[in-house]
Structure 1
Amino acid sequence: MKVSDLKKKSTNRLETGYISTLGIQSYGEDNLYPQILNNIISASSTGSECVERYADFIEGNGFRDVSFSEYTVNRRGDTADDIHTLVCKDVAKYDGFALHVNYNIFGEIVEIQHIPFENCRLQEEDENGYVGKIAIHPDWTGRKIRDGKTIKIDKKHTDYIDVFNPRKNVVYEQIRSAGGIENYKGQVLWVSGAGNLVYPISRADRVATEMSTDEGLANVKYRNVRCNFMPSGMIVTKKGSSVNFDEEGKPIPDYENEDTGFSDTIKQLQGDTNAGKLLEVTLNSDEDKPEFVDLSSKNYDKEFTVTDASVVERIYSAFGQEPWYCIRVGKLGFSGDILEDAFEYYNSIVSRQQRMIERSFMKIFEHWYEIANSSNDYSVQPLKYVRNAEVSNNI
């Protein structure tokens, strides 16, 4: 089939529009792409596991220069390693990150803070296609509450901060336009794996459907165990009856002995803790002996065995974690050599993301007010599989 024919059936993974009231480019059709994606990942056990492993390997063992990794970078006491950890988590989820930098009166960087990537939006392009500011809001869903009040999504509650440009003449002009250093908001280094000032599409996006399916399969398994009817059987017995008469000789119904039905019994027959119970049903007809009716519950797990396996495999594959999937399903053994090869393989997968972060830290600390990294080495120590050492005790 031709590509032109397929375009009718395919849709853009990320719709970008403009929100004129806020002066920003929307991140997704409803401006909530990162928030929705984060919810999908969090609800999928397999997706969460893969993203966490992805973030761990991007972070590695931290910066190779230990003294720099322990260097304090802001007034809160965060170290370079603390900021690096947060950055790696954002890259793993969204393929992007943002850092806020503050300057002194001499145009030197004196502080950096991590900004959650999902809180950032790009300003509208000007006539030259340039994006000059990053819009930052604490919660674009509009649900966050402070001091008992909802933080509205409007310009009043949104910070518009200049994009990162450390040239001193630019910084001086921004400080002057802000009315002095005390009013200056600094700059934001906004980094995207998709390119300069372009919204990135997460690696997890390619398996968003599979991760949502993974959540649905977990719900089916939960309801199958917790909410399914699993009594071993039902005993049908005869109910005796007694008839009383009123003053006029009319029979009086025995309401106290009437069966109230199954409404009160249903809760006592659902779930794993009530499996194997017997259900007794009393009838008014004249059976000679009790009747036992076998009740077989429906097991839905078998219906989704193939779907479950294929979903998990695709999620692992999307994150390049096939070695761990093969170990999980038993295709590979669980030896130290295999795990060591898996670590080496995955370090090559995350090298591009590591270089992107290294270059960004270098851009900032080249303009730091003092020498924070004398080695000028911002590379990351890769994770290595550590074998359990055999310790022999001499008796």
Structure 2
Amino acid sequence: MRTLLIDVWKRLTPWSKSADVYANDTDNGYPERMDRLINNSVTAKSAAAIMVQYLIGKGYGEENNNLIINKNKNLKLIDFADDVADDLVKQRGVFIHINWNALYQIADFSVIPYEWCRIGKTDSNDYAGKVAVSKEWLRPKKVDIQLIDTFNPRKKVIDAQVEKAGGWEHYKGQVLYVNMDTKLIYPLSRIDSVADDCDSESQAAIYKNRLLRKGFFGNTLVVTRPLVGEGLEPGSHALLDAESEREKFQEAIKDSLGAQNTGGVLCLEMDFAGEKLEDAILIKQIESKIDDKLFDYTETSVRENILVAFNNLPAGLIKTNEASLFGNSGEAIREMKRTYWENTTKERNLLTSVINQLLQQSQDYASLTVEPLKLIDDDAALNNTE
């Protein structure tokens, strides 16, 4: 028996000599590709937005939400939390830039777009001392790559980095890298296993759109006997008159079918046998080529797969038009919310831990510890949750 081995696509992280970083896939474009697939899939984009909300909950209280944690960017704590949650949900990793002051306190922090960051050289202990930051990684130029030290709060380490940089005024700070796939250099995106499903949903929409815009759907086919006889001399008055009559006839056909069909009429001339009127002209409506049942099955299938990738997000939290979901005072919806709150516990705890770690080492909020307000806590709150 012969065994057929099927190559399964795998994300690789080869060393890029030209950029001195570990590439995120062979073309170094994995994060951008995953982000694009999410944005092109209505289900994935909606699921990501809902999951982010479940990581943040109802926020950290109005006062804490509005705390400014980066004065240069006028960045509020709740906005920072949203940025971290967004990358944890989509990429399952996040890069956070941290600036220290001379008292070894965190002066400010903010998220660097995940797509901009790559890991530099590692030592014998697989520790990478630098994070490379660039807005372009497909064809990067070394002059455009900024190297920033990885996060290490030890005073001796910070002192050494400041000295090497030429003083505090030249110090670029550090980057805290949170990786949810600790065995990998870069985490796999949440949609890695359903990337084809995200693309299928997007391509199905594109296909239907093209059929509607450029296909024959809804057009009317008019078949007649030849309107211009054979044997007429090119350029002759007889030929010109015949062609003029043809144009008038075709315009009359379009007008008779209604303004909504203008531009959607195909006129075809061919020989017919017989002398009856129905043998001289044929009008036929071209039917749609869109198989609604096939598309419905395909779209339902890929939607379910995508929702599973987002920690088994209940479909009812995205699509809630079924009357049955609102029975028993909305108990079905409440149960979905309870379930999904539990499903997102790991990511929510990670987000909260990262925020508190930074706050406790900050110059302004060292005594502050935050906890997200639950989306679901009691029946009164559930009745007010949208």
User: TM (normalized to structure 1)?
Assistant: 0.80
Write the mapping of 1:195-344 to structure 2, written as runs, cut at 5 A: 195=182, 198-229=185-216, 230-237=218-225, 239=227, 254-255=239-240, 257-258=242-243, 274=261, 279-281=266-268, 288=275, 289=277, 290-302=280-292, 303-319=294-310, 320-324=312-316, 330=322, 333-335=325-327, 336-344=330-338
Which amino acid in the other structure matches residue 371 of structure 2?
S
CA distance in 1, matches of 2:262, 2:54: 44
Q: Does 1:77 align with 2:74?
A: yes
- Aligned partners of 1:299 and 1:245: how far apart in 2? 42
Query: Separation in 2 of the partners of 1:24 and 1:245?
Result: 74
Using the TM superposition, give the Cα deviation of residue 22 of structure 1 relative to its aligned residue in structure 2, in angstroms. Answer: 1.4
Q: CA offsets, 1:251-300, max 9 Å, x none?
A: 87724634999xx99xx9xxx95489654445688974332242432422
More helix by share: 2
Q: Quote the Cα distance in structure 1 between the aligned partners of 2:90 and 2:226.
A: 64
Does structure 1 residue 163 correspond to structure 2 residue 163?
Answer: no
SS in structure 1 opposite 2:178? strand
Q: Secondary structure at the match of 1:176?
A: helix
Which residue matches 1:380? 372
How far does residue 332 in structure 1 lie from its aligned partner after superposition?
5.0
Deviation at 1:365, TM superposition (A): 2.3
Alpha-carbon distance, 1:33 to partner: 0.5
Aligned to 2:28, what secondary structure does the other structure show?
coil
Counterpart check, 1:356 vs 2:344: no
1:118 Cα deviation after fit? 1.4
- Residue 130 (structure 1) aligns with: 127
Give deviations 1:78-98, integer Å, cap 9, x for gaps: 111111111111111101111
Cα offsets for 1:371-390 (capped at 9, x unmatched): x153x42321232374369x
Deviations 1:95-118 (A, max 9, x none): 111111111122221111221111
How many angstroms does 1:16 deviate by? 0.9
- Indicate the SS of the match to 1:337: helix
Q: Is the 8 A contact 2:27 2:138 kept in 1?
A: no
% of aligned pairs identical?
24
Quick one: structure 1 residues 277 and 360, their matched pair in 2 at CA, closer, same or farther if it must change by over 3 Å? Answer: closer
What TM-score does the superposition give when structure 2 sets the normalisation length? 0.82
Corresponding residue number in structure 1 for 2:98: 101
* Structure 1 stretch displaced more, 175-184 or 251-260: 251-260
CA distance in 1, matches of 2:267, 2:297: 38
The letter for the 2-side match of 1:313 is E
Distance 2:370 2:284 in 1: 69
Amino acid at match of 1:377: T
Please give the alpha-carbon distance, in whole angstroms, between the structure 2 residues aligned to 1:306 and 1:121.
40
Gaps in structure 2 of 5+ consecutive residues: none
In structure 2, the CA distance between the partners of 1:278 and 1:120, relative to structure 1 (3 Å rule), is closer
In structure 1, the residue corresponding to 2:325 is in which secondary structure?
A: coil
After TM superposition, give the deviation of residue 213 of structure 1 in Å.
0.6
Matches of 1:203 and 1:383, distance apart in 2: 23
In the TM superposition, residue 227 of structure 1 has moved relative to its aligned partner by 2.2
Aligned length: 362
1:393 matched to which residue of 2?
none
Name the structure 2 match of 1:392: none
One-letter amino acid of the structure 1 residue matched with residue 306 of structure 2: I
**Does residue 175 in structure 1 map to residue 166 in structure 2?**
no
Higher mean C-alpha deviation, range 66-75 or range 230-239 = 230-239
In structure 2, give the amino acid aligned to 1:361: I
Deviations 1:120-162 (A, max 9, x none): 11112223322111111123245xxxxxxxxxx1221111101
Which of 317, 329, 341 is the aligned partner of 1:347? 341
Q: Distance in 1 between matches of 2:291 and 2:110?
A: 47
Q: How far apart are residue 232 of structure 1 and its match?
A: 3.8
Residue 131 of structure 1 aligns with an amino acid whose one-letter code is A
- Residues 204-250 of structure 1 show CA distances to partners (whole Å, capped at 9, x for unaligned) of 1111111111111111221232222223441415636698889xxx9
Equivalent-residue separation in structure 1 for 2:44 and 2:24 (angstroms): 22
Does the CA contact (< 8 Å) of 2:95 and 2:175 recur in 1? yes
Distance 1:178 1:245, change over 3 A: closer
- Helix, strand or coil: the match of 1:113? strand
User: How many Å apart are 1:363 and its aligned residue?
Assistant: 2.3
Secondary structure in 2 aligned to 1:53?
A: helix
Residue 334 of structure 1 aligns to a residue whose secondary structure is: helix
Give the distance between the partners of 1:81 and 1:196, measured in 2 at CA.
Answer: 30
What amino acid does structure 1 have at the position aligned with 2:77?
A: A
Q: Which residue is equivalent to 1:146?
A: none
- Which of residues 23, 42, 45 is equivalent to 1:45? 42
Q: 1:59 to 1:139 in 2, by over 3 A?
A: farther
Evaluate the alpha carbon distance shift between residue 306 and residue 329 of structure 1 in structure 2; reply closer, same or farther with a 3 A threshold.
farther
Corresponding residue SS for 2:68: coil
Flag the 1:77–1:388 CA change in 2: closer, same or farther, 3 A: closer
**Matched letter for residue 387 of structure 1:** N
Alpha-carbon distance between aligned partners in 1 of 2:318 and 2:53, rounded to the nearest angstrom: 20
Classify 1:187/1:219 alpha carbon distance in 2 versus 1 (closer, same or farther; 3 Å).
Answer: same
SS in 2 for 1:124: coil
RMSD value, Cα: 3.5
